[in-house]
């Protein structure tokens, strides 16, 4: 399993660094990449405290109009671009964006952003892709990636809190192969786990006594829009607040190109 320690990457052109090239090669070949140390410990601790304070109602076992149940005791919830979550290091982390733009293109956008909360007692999630293939044809598995999921855990992802298991190479499959071997990596808080939208995966059980929130972003080619996970009109893809777009650094503005 290839993991990239982002503390070893320096210089302005992150995408051209040798570690990032390894991450790119892993993503193209296996359908996932792991970037360690993209956020500092203090930043993650502050984000976790802020999430628990502002979104405590989403730590209950119930679905709201603006949330979606994605498995038993697992919910997709909105997160507002304010406070710590308006920090460019969170929604447009330089290491993450460098790989996103290499895999997709420089005009990649942030299609949706929020959190997935796995409550205490959540069971093994069903194996799935984040959305169906673009076309009902064998060629779909051979095409370049059109979207990718990036998760930033606010609490360590492991065998106790639960993690995300993936089938390496499954982005090239035309259908599931449950008998194939999976990997279920530990992802420490402060690291990023990224996978192709076509990669088969599932959340593992949370057997701890506390909920496990992870921030996620769906990055996509500018023409792609995720319809599978936003079927309710009450869900928010991007929860913007007044003045947020004006605060976005120039080199991250493209991520919000679809925002009116």
Strand partners, 77: 115
3-state secondary structure 144-172: CCCEEEEEEECCCEECCCECEEECCCHHH
How far is the C-alpha of 195 from the C-alpha of 116, rounded, in Å? 15
- Segments of 67-108 assigned E as strands: 68-71, 74-78
Query: How many other C-beta atoms are found inside a 10 Å radius of the C-beta of residue 15?
Result: 18
pLDDT at 1: 86
- Per the CB < 8 A criterion, the answer to whether 27 and 42 are in contact is no
| Alpha carbon distances (Å) from 225 to 6, 237, 251 | 30, 10, 22
Buried b vs exposed e over 51-61: b needs ≥16 C-beta within 10 Å?
A: beeebeebbee
- Segments of 61-146 assigned E as strands: 68-71, 74-78, 109-118
**pTM: predicted TM-score of the whole model, two decimal places:** 0.96
pLDDT at 260: 67
pLDDT at 27: 98
Nearest to 42 by CA among 79, 5, 87, 11: 87
- Each of the 260 residues of the chain gets a pLDDT tens digit; together they read 899 999 999 877 899 999 999 999 999 999 999 999 999 999 999 999 999 999 999 999 999 999 999 999 999 999 999 999 999 999 999 999 999 999 999 999 999 999 999 999 999 999 999 999 999 888 999 999 999 999 999 999 999 999 999 999 999 999 999 899 999 999 999 999 999 999 999 999 999 999 999 999 999 999 999 999 999 999 999 999 999 999 999 999 999 999 86
Tokens 């059980």 belong to residue: 205
User: According to the CATH classification, is domain 16-254 in 2.60.120.620?
Assistant: yes
Residue 140: strand, helix, or coil: helix
Burial of 116 (C-beta count, 10 Å sphere; 0-12/13-18/19+):
buried
How far is the C-alpha of 128 from the C-alpha of 253, rounded, in Å? 31
Burial of 242 (C-beta count, 10 Å sphere; 0-12/13-18/19+):
exposed
How far is the C-alpha of 165 from the C-alpha of 184, rounded, in Å? 4
- Per the CB < 8 A criterion, the answer to whether 79 and 154 are in contact is no
Say how far residue 200 (Cα) sits from the centre of its chain: 14
Say how far residue 252 (Cα) sits from the centre of its chain: 17
- Six-digit token pair at 132? 């169906």
């Amino acid at each position: 399993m290839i993991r990239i320690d982002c503390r070893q990457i320096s210089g302005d052109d992150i995408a051209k660094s040798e570690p990032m090239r390894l991450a790119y090669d892993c993503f193209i070949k296996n359908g996932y990449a792991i970037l360690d140390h993209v956020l500092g410990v203090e930043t993650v601790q502050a984000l976790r405290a802020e999430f628990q304070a502002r979104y405590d109602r989403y730590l209950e076992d119930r679905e709201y109009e603006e949330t979606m149940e994605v498995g038993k005791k697992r919910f997709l919830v909105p997160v507002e671009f304010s406070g710590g979550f308006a920090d460019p290091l969170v929604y447009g982390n330089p290491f993450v964006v460098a790989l996103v733009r290499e895999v997709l293109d420089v005009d990649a956008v942030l299609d949706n952003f929020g959190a997935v909360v796995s409550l205490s007692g959540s069971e093994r999630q069903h194996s799935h892709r984040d959305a169906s293939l673009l076309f009902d044809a064998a060629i779909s598995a051979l095409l370049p990636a059109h979207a990718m999921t990036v998760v930033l855990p606010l609490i360590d992802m492991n065998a106790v809190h639960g993690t995300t298991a993936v089938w390496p190479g499954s982005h090239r499959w035309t259908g599931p192969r449950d008998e194939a071997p999976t990997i279920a990596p530990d992802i420490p808080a402060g690291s990023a786990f990224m996978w192709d939208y076509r990669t088969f995966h599932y959340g593992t059980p949370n057997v701890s006594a506390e909920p496990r929130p992870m921030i996620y972003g769906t990055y996509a080619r500018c023409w792609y829009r995720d319809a599978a996970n936003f079927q309710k009109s009450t869900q928010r893809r991007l929860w913007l607040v007044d003045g947020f777009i004006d605060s976005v650094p120039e080199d991250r503005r493209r991520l919000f190109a679809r925002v009116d």
